[in-house]
Structure 1
């Protein structure tokens, strides 16, 4: 277990002026339990936790929350399995006395913790798990989500190919909840922008165990015009390497969900394929809001590293939690839920609203094209897609979400 309480003098992303250290001698900390795949998904989760530390320093240096109480996160590894994650969530609530729980990376883990939170009637702020089911078919009163879901991000990418002529598509995705959810969203949406589009092959390799040769061979045999790729991490590297070797991507349009995120593009190095349309995070090119540039400078100074998409998310999560606690009249679960519903937070990614209708935030994503620059992958021709423009409609939510 790692327990981190940060109360030192710090640089905030919204204002980098030196702040006086507040006196917390008599104020009990407000504790939030954070469980995530810190071991198995370290490329994302470690930068995520680093940025949370940075944000906590800023919050506490500025006076804390709820009138002067320090904010503390208790970090635990969720084991990357539903059973382990539920056990850790139980321990955080009962042994660590946290006010609520947050986190999870893998979608199947997020769903398990959401069900646990519903049974225990305690708030769960899902930060990374992307499956649509979390806030739709399996949504519940106690679960909220920060990142844009698979439907939102897939819709952003599909809109980028409106007017293209590629009708024969291959889908490759990891065989678990996130991959299946993304594939379902793609099959639903692609025909709305390319009339007559069809999926001619679907490949679902096991997460972390992709047989790149067999997967690339099966896709090539189907002779698609384009590919929708949902693989990430080591699976993505293996797939790209084999695809480059066998010419799979030549003269083919490729969409890569998450591919442009630095934690997944950095390992590709000079093997980064050019011209893929992806969601990502061009941190070095983002000019607005100004607080983002300040965040990048502070992050690089503290960790001697460049931020990842996980870093951005971690900082945004702490900003939202601090805002929630300053708006809520108390720490009772009902008070927290009421305050979080439709809560607006100014973040380093702009204004984010936690929509009360389905407990899905409006945090957006960057959509662009991959390119090689000095032997590394970068994004070009990118734009920021505001999440509020890509969410499920109210009518869809009312039909799909349990009431």
Structure 2
């Protein structure tokens, strides 16, 4: 490809880089031509100057001021693994956008800080970064931090914020504000789907295990209510609430075994689920309950669990990479490219974060503006391409009709670690709350 062709194809952030390289090549060519064809020297110089001018005009038209995205992420603390995976997904999305010419012809940047899973720190960091010129905010991963940031930053500063990890239903129901939108299943949709799955089974005596924080307690309450609604015969024989980030689950394990449940339902994820599962395996817990166990899994957790996974048990995932590989060429290309770049497939948290950024980018392009109100109107009225299929957002809650994936834990021979083989995909439209339920959640108690 000659220099003029390279210049014609230059775009976005790559424009100046390509021209710099091409300029060196052309100057070398010019020196050679000057030796062999001195009489054409002036003509070559004129051509070079013209190409410089043309390229400069092209670059300035396609780059412009970068569009700034920011986020206060949980990169340390009890949900650090979720935060780190979220960051990988955001960075992968930013790279993809910039390679494709950016958004509205402008490059996209992402600045972030580590909040250490501290809600007040997340609010302070998000406020500072937004006031520094950001037009889009990624939510933290811990539910408490996300609830704080949505109220104190996104709502007050009127900046669109996307939720990719926190499953607290309060974000889009009770504490909803118009500049937030969520691409992840929340407590209502995920727990209704789980209750639908288990209500079909013969189990009657349930043990519930959830970390002691607002989001997990909300999930636990929802599951309990839905299970009783769908299976009035069900009985909760024990409820355990170890602290978030617990390092010793022995007491809870012994109490659950003593209660002799038919089934154990856990609302643990990330490091908590790994720590619990390893201790449970060492104590023979899964064998004693015959793997009648339900967990919230993701790619990173399954890879880390290894022989400590409750093989034969059940679980839920939000964006399983093994399923995405088989769901279509676009999702397969995404998984393959992510793995080629990072050395491992995307976890659920990475894919959800990727979908957040790409949904926002599509809304901006639809609105032809980064103006907050215009972008939110586009979110409310659009259909968006994501790695989990096309999604729409409820006008009353800005929650995506995201599918929920259920399956059975198996030993993955090809993957070299346990996988959740998807057996059921429940569309978000089947498990989302009604408008009446959303409005009721917002009424003063």
Residue 117 of structure 2: which of 80, 89, 93 is its match? Answer: 80
- Structure 2 residue runs of 5 or longer lacking an equivalent are 1-11, 16-57
Tell me the distance in 1 between the aligned counterparts of 2:167 and 2:438: 16
User: Could you tell me which residue of structure 1 aligns to residue 229 of structure 2?
Assistant: 192
Give the number of the structure whose residues are more often strand, by fraction. Answer: 1
- Asked if residue 53 in structure 1 is aligned to residue 94 in structure 2, the reply is no
Distance 1:100 1:322 in 2: 10
Q: Following the alignment from structure 1 to structure 2, what is the Cα–Cα distance between the partners of residues 118 and 140?
A: 6
1:185, distance to aligned residue in structure 2 (A): 0.9
Alignment pair present for 1:175 and 2:212: yes
Q: 1:59 to 1:358 in 2, by over 3 A?
A: same
Q: Given that residues 150 and 180 in structure 2 are in contact (C-alpha distance below 8 angstroms), is that contact kept between their aligned partners in structure 1? A: yes
For residue 182 of structure 1, report the CA deviation from its aligned partner.
0.9
Which deviates the most, 69-78 or 290-299?
69-78
Distance 1:85 1:35 in 2: 5
The CA deviation at 1:323 is: 0.3
Deviation at 1:91, TM superposition (A): 0.7
In structure 1, distance between residues paired with 2:136 and 2:220? 32
Displacement, 1:8? 5.2
| Cα drift, residue 43 of structure 1 | 2.4
Cα deviation, residue 285, structure 1: 4.1
Q: Which residue of 1 aligns with 2:51?
A: none
1:121 maps to which of 154, 158, 173 = 158
In 1, the alpha carbon distance for the partners of 2:293 and 2:433 equals 21
State yes or no: 1:140 paired with 2:177.
yes
1:122 and 1:254 map into 2 onto residues whose CA distance is 44
Gap change, CA 1:360 and 1:402, over 3 Å in 2:
farther
Provide the residue aligned with 1:106 in structure 2: 142
CA–CA separation in structure 2 for the residues paired with 1:7 and 1:127? 27
Shift in CA distance, 23/294, structure 1 to aligned 2, threshold 3 Å: farther
Counterpart selection for 2:327 from 258, 269, 288: 288
The answer to whether the 8 A contact 1:256-1:278 is kept is yes
For residues 218 and 318 of structure 1, the distance between their equivalents in structure 2, rounded to whole angstroms, comes to 43
- Please say if residues 7 and 57 of structure 1, whose CA atoms lie closer than 8 Å, have aligned partners that are also in contact: no
Partner of residue 13, structure 1 = none
Residues of 1 paired with 2:370 and 2:346: CA distance?
Answer: 32
Question: Bigger relative contact order, structure 1 or 2, given CA contacts below 8 A and separation 6+?
Answer: 1
Say which is worse superposed, 54-63 or 169-178, in terms of deviation: 54-63
Partner of 1:256: 294
1:155 matched to 2:192? The reply is yes
Query: Runs of 5+ in structure 1 lacking a partner?
Result: 1-5, 10-21
SS at match of 1:49: helix
Structure-2 change in CA distance of 1:251 and 1:212 (3 Å): closer
1:185-228 CA distance string (max 9 Å, x none): 11111123322212121111111124311010111122211111
Cα distance between partner residues in 2 of 1:102 and 1:358: 17
Question: Helix, strand or coil: the match of 1:361?
Answer: coil
Task: Find the counterpart in structure 2 of residue 14 from structure 1.
Answer: none
Residue in structure 2 matching 1:97, options 133, 145, 160: 133
5 Å-filtered alignment, 1:1-400, equals 7=13, 23=59, 27-40=64-77, 41-66=79-104, 68-94=105-131, 96-116=132-152, 117-249=154-286, 250-252=288-290, 254-259=292-297, 261-280=298-317, 281-286=319-324, 287-374=326-413, 376-400=417-441
CA RMSD after TM alignment: 2.2
Could you tell me whether the CA contact under 8 Å between 2:139 and 2:149 is conserved in 1?
Answer: no
Structure 1 position 237, deviation (Å): 2.3
Helix, strand or coil: the match of 1:371? Answer: strand
More helix by percentage: 2
Given that 2:81 and 2:271 are in contact with CA atoms closer than 8 Å, whether structure 1 keeps it comes out as no
Report how many aligned residue pairs link the two structures.
383
Residue 386 of structure 1: CA displacement?
2.2
Distance 2:367 2:292 in 1: 45
TM-score by length of 1: 0.88
Q: Which moved more, 1:222-231 or 1:52-61?
A: 52-61
TM-score, scaled relative to structure 2? 0.80
